[in-house]
Amino acid sequence: MPFMAAGSCQHIMKTAFPDGFEESVIATILREVLKGLVNIHQHGDIHRDVKAGNILVDSSGAIKLCDFGASASLFDEGKRLHGRNTFTGTPCWMAPEVLEQEKGYDFKADIWSFGITALELAHGHAPYSKFPPMKIIMKTIQDAPPRLDHSERDKKFSKSFRKLIEKCLQKKAHDRSSAQELLKHPFFKKARSSEYLTRTLLKELPSLGDSAKESKIKQDMVIQKKLAEVERGALPRYRMSGWNFDVEAIKTQASQLPDGEDYFLV
């Protein structure tokens, strides 16, 4: 892969667009991600970790979907599998069927993650991102799918963008559109060229090295503040041991966590 000088979309938002991108930028980015997903799915693979942090931008505005460390094939020795069952991905972006681990999952799990990523690009963060993983799992399984609402924050977004998200964020996997179908959605008439991304996103962006140093300093300050609050007893402390979750235990623990609080994971 070539050097992607602008970093990830997550990095760009944290650096210069904390409240998310404008709609034409979102359409341009998502169109390219969909092209990647179409190719991945046609080859029988699932990405399983679609999110802004895995969408890279180079200095010319080109987009690439990266990090195939969690990807998997739906074929074994040439035979199509019913689905995958591995509990893998990043909680905020994981589809309900991945979390529930009951009937397995297929390409449509990526479509859910794609829909969550659309909201992430619109808001600067993923839905439920303020919650610990256990609570995210419960909200994803039990709550209605996230949507753009009619608040002051979201009223700027078009009906076509709302419809696109609805086609992705359906609880039942078979109700979601495929990547190929989504590429034909009217929303992508708003997509522009890579040169447009260069003008709108990258012009005032600091170098990747400089912004990474600044981000590290800010991150360290936040961690130190949270640690101090934990030591004072101001924040609840919850322990998780890696990503080999006991899903039923997580559900029980998550159901006991109140909404609207900050947490610190150790």
Give how far Cα 65 sits from Cα of 51, 58, 122, 165, 212, Å.
9, 12, 18, 19, 20
Alpha-carbon span 154 to 203, nearest angstrom: 26
For the question of whether the overall pTM of this predicted structure is more than 0.95, the answer is: no
Distance CA 35, CA 233 (A): 48
Residues 198 and 209: their CA atoms lie apart, in Å, by 18
Do the Cβ atoms of 159 and 112 come closer than 8 Å? no
Place of tokens 């609080």: 261
Look at residue 216 and tell me if it is in a domain: no
Q: How many domains does the chain have?
A: 1
Q: Is 237 helix (H, G, I), strand (E, B) or coil?
A: strand
Query: Tens digit of pLDDT for each residue in 28-43?
Result: 999 999 999 999 999 9
Q: What is the pLDDT of residue 217?
A: 66
Among 222, 10, 265, 248, smallest CA distance to 133 is for 265
Q: What is the pLDDT of residue 148?
A: 96
Q: Per the domain annotation, does 265 fall within a domain?
A: no
Q: Are 9 and 205 in contact (CB under 8 A)?
A: no
Grouped pLDDT means (10 residues each) for the chain, 266 residues: 84 94 98 97 95 95 90 75 79 95 91 98 97 94 94 93 98 97 98 94 71 63 70 58 53 55 44
Return the pLDDT at 185: 98
Q: What is the pLDDT of residue 262?
A: 46
Residue 176 lies in a domain: yes
- Residue-level pLDDT at 250: 58
Residue 123 lies in a domain: yes
- Determine, yes or no, domain membership for 77: yes
In a domain, 235, yes or no: no
Q: For the residues of 44-92, what is the DSSP string, one character each? A: TEE----SGGGEEE-TT--EEE---TT-EESEETTEEPS-B----S-GG
* Predicted pLDDT of residue 261: 47
Confidence (pLDDT) at 266? 39
Q: Is residue 25 part of a domain?
A: yes
pLDDT score for 241: 44
Q: Is position 225 within any domain? A: no
The catalytic residues are: 49
CA atoms within 13 A on the CB side of 20: 21
Query: Given this model, what pLDDT does residue 258 score?
Result: 55
Question: What is the residue range of 157's domain?
Answer: 7-205
| Paired residues of 63 in beta bridges | 57
pLDDT at 252: 59
Q: For residue 140, what is the domain's CATH number?
A: 1.10.510.10
Distance CA 93, CA 91 (A): 5
